[in-house]
Structure formats: structure tokens, C-alpha cells
């Protein structure tokens, strides 16, 4: 990337080059946060510095490491985790430089994606061939390990004992979530409880840490607890919404990837409850490409997408309630605006 940040201008719009939103730059006084663009503009300069810092952090004298890590980092990404970390730090009055600290969560995310694509044999990531397809499985896994280790060291250096301890707990949960997801792969009897256990560990644990990292680094455990609750709720809602988007039409993406793999997410769980015949069809094996459009329509016809989206909205509302424990001000408002956007961006 060339110093632009994926979240800016087109919040959570995915990969590609994004310009900074006009009108407000990081550090400028804001009298009102009207939406996610204002929230992100408030920390825009910090995110731009963090983008350069991320490249420095994946550098190594072993040339293959920055080649593989850079292959994924340069493909873009939402950079949601650094944004939430920056907003959380400012919301609690963190008064030291934090652009290195907010990269720790993104390094964990990069490492986990490198590992995931090897485990899942994923061919594409962020619109380009996955790193293991280009560079091979072994060096990709080991580069993922480098990213994880670098993040832990970074959290210790920038955040201190509690911050790095909590990161280690989050990474432990992520690993457990990955194992649970593998155990449930293709299991059409997976229920809501099992689904939420996976996404709480696999996705929400890291987002919660990112939100609270600045408060832990600042030695403010009560505020860290509130931000962690907020991050858990937002992380779960974010994953539900992503799962809904895989079934939705009009998003600009080809729907049905999860359905083609018989991946049991909340929309499919709700759909199979309403239309048991769907489970019988999918029990026969991965559907042919010609069958996917009809199956998508059956899922949509059950109202499962609306039910799942309502669940995501409820999770966000619970998360927003946790922000009441933070000091009133721009930081709290900005977190709330971004949290709401994570579910409103969908259908």
C-alpha cells in the first residue's frame, strides 16, 4: 500500500487504495461525531503512521519473511483492529505515542490469516492468490509464526505486563476457536451455541483485546474491562454480519461461498430450522455450482438473514451499553459510531 488506509473514506470498504476523508484530520477538534467517517478521521494521521510502522515490523534480515508477510499486508484489508485500538486508547486519555501498540493486533490478524489459508487450503485472499499458493506452505506457516511472535514482543514493549498477558490469553482463545471450527466443519447439526463459541474465540477475542489494549497499557483496568466488553460484542456482531453478507445480494460480491463449502453459520442455522429440507439437500455433499443460486433463494426466503442481522444488532446494542463506563467525550462517541456501522453496513 502507499500510505493510505483501508478504513478511511470508505469505512470498512475492504481492499484497495482509500483517500483520507475530507474536512477533518486526526487531532482536529470535533464537536460532533456524525458517523464512522468522522470517527476514523479523528485518528486518521495515527492510522497512516501505523501503516508505515506495520511494514517496519514485518521486516526481517531473513528475506523470505517480509516477502511473505508483505504479500498479504500489501493486498490491503480493513485495518479495523488498529482503528479500534487507536480509538480505545484515545477514549481513555492515553497520553503516550501508541502507533506501535495499535499494530500488535493487526500483526496477530496477519499471522492468523497466513495460517488459516494453509489449514483451509484457501486459494485466494483479498483478491489475489493466497500467500501459500505463491510461496509454499512451510514458509507461509513459519512467517505466520513470526507475525504472532512479533506482536507479543511488541505488546510487551509498548503495553507492559498486563497488556501482553491479555494478548496471550486472546491468542490462546483464537487457537481454540480454530480447532473448534475444524471440529464442526461440515457438521450440519452445529447449533447456535456451538457457532457463538467459535466466533467468540476465533474473531471477537482479538477485537476485544485491541479495544482494551490502550487502557491496559495506561494502567486503567476498570476502563479496560468496559472496552473489552464492548469489543467482544462488536466482534461477534461483526462476524455475524460478515456471515449474513455471504448470503445477501447486491453487495458487489458473489454470494454463496459459505454455502458451497457447507459452512454452518448463523444464517444457515436459522434457515435449516425454518426449512429442514435444506439440511437434507446439503447432507448429500457440497452443492454443484448450478444448485447454489436456488439454495441461496431458499435461505433468503426463510427470513434467516433478517433474524441473523437482528441478532447482530442486539449484540452491538449490548456492546454500546458497556461504553457508558467510559468518560464522556469524542473517544466514546467515536467508538459508538464505528460499532454501529459494523452492522449497518450490510443489506
Per-residue pLDDT band at 345 (split at 50, 70, 90): confident
**What is the count of structural domains for the chain?**
1
Q: Is the pLDDT of residue 3 over 60?
A: no
Q: Give the whole-angstrom CA distance, residue 337 versus residue 335.
A: 5
Looking at residue 1, its pLDDT comes to: 34
**Cα separation of 57 and 52, whole Å?**
9
Give the three-state DSSP class for 129: strand
**Mean pLDDT value across residues 146-172:** 98
- Mean pLDDT over 168-195 rounds to 97
Neighbouring CB atoms inside 10 A of 333's CB total: 21
Would 20 be classed as within a structural domain? Answer: no
CA dist 214 and 325 (Å) reads 15
**pLDDT grade for 249, boundaries at 50, 70 and 90:** confident
In tens, the pLDDT along 326-343 reads 999 999 999 999 999 999
- The verdict on residue 152 lying in a domain is yes
Q: Which three cell numbers stand for residue 11?
A: 469505512
- Report the percent of the chain where pLDDT is more than 70: 89
Residue 21 pLDDT > 70:
no
Asked whether residue 2 is assigned to any structural domain, the reply reads no
Least confident of 28-32, 38-42, 158-162, 317-321: 28-32
Residue 13: inside a domain, yes or no?
no
pLDDT per position as a tens digit, 203-227: 999 999 999 999 999 999 999 999 9
Per-residue CA distances from 207 to 82, 134, 201, 230, 324 (Å): 9, 29, 10, 9, 19
pLDDT at 266 over 50: yes
**Segments forming the whole domain that contains residue 92:** 36-344
| 3 state SS of 164 | helix
DSSP 256: -
Residue 175 belongs to a domain with what CATH number?
1.10.600.10
Question: Would you say residue 264 lies in a domain?
Answer: yes
Q: Quick check: is 1 in a domain?
A: no
Over residues 221-241, the mean pLDDT reads 98
* Within-domain flag for 47: yes
Residue 207 falls inside a structural domain: yes
Amino acid at each position: 500500500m502507499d500510505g493510505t488506509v483501508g478504513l478511511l473514506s470508505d469505512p470498512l470498504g475492504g481492499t484497495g487504495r482509500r483517500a483520507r476523508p475530507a474536512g477533518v484530520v486526526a487531532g482536529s477538534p470535533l464537536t460532533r461525531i456524525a458517523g464512522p467517517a468522522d470517527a476514523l478521521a479523528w485518528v486518521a494521521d495515527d492510522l497512516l503512521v501505523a501503516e508505515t510502522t506495520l511494514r517496519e515490523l514485518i521486516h526481517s534480515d531473513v528475506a523470505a519473511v517480509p516477502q511473505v508477510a508483505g504479500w498479504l499486508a500489501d493486498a490491503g484489508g480493513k485495518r479495523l483492529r488498529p482503528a479500534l485500538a487507536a480509538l480505545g486508547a484515545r477514549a481513555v486519555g492515553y497520553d503516550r505515542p501508541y502507533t506501535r501498540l495499535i499494530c500488535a493486533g493487526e500483526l496477530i490478524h496477519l499471522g492468523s490469516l497466513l495460517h488459516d489459508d494453509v489449514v483451509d487450503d484457501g486459494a485466494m485472499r483479498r483478491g489475489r492468490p493466497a500467500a501459500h499458493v505463491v510461496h509454499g506452505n512451510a514458509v507461509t506457516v513459519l512467517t505466520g509464526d513470526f507475525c504472532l511472535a512479533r506482536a507479543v514482543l511488541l505488546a510487551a514493549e509498548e503495553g507492559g505486563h498486563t497488556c501482553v498477558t491479555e494478548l496471550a490469553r486472546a491468542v490462546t482463545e483464537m487457537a481454540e476457536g480454530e480447532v473448534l471450527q475444524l471440529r464442526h466443519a461440515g457438521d450440519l447439526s452445529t447449533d447456535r451455541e456451538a457457532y457463538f463459541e467459535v466466533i467468540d474465540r476465533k474473531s471477537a477475542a482479538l477485537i476485544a483485546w485491541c479495544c482494551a489494549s490502550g487502557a491496559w497499557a495506561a494502567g486503567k483496568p476498570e476502563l479496560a474491562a468496559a472496552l473489552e466488553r464492548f469489543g467482544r460484542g462488536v466482534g461477534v456482531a461483526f462476524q455475524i454480519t460478515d456471515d449474513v453478507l455471504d448470503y445477501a445480494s447486491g453487495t458487489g460480491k458473489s454470494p454463496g461461498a459459505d454455502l458451497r463449502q457447507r459452512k454452518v453459520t448463523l444464517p444457515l442455522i436459522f434457515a435449516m430450522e425454518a426449512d429442514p429440507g435444506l439440511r437434507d439437500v446439503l447432507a448429500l455433499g457440497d452443492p454443484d455450482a448450478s444448485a447454489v443460486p436456488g439454495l441461496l433463494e431458499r435461505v433468503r426466503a426463510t427470513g434467516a438473514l433478517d433474524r441473523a442481522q437482528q441478532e447482530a444488532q442486539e449484540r452491538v446494542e449490548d456492546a454500546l451499553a458497556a461504553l457508558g463506563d467510559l468518560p464522556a467525550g469524542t473517544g466514546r462517541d467515536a467508538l459508538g459510531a464505528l460499532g454501529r456501522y459494523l452492522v449497518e453496513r450490510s443489506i
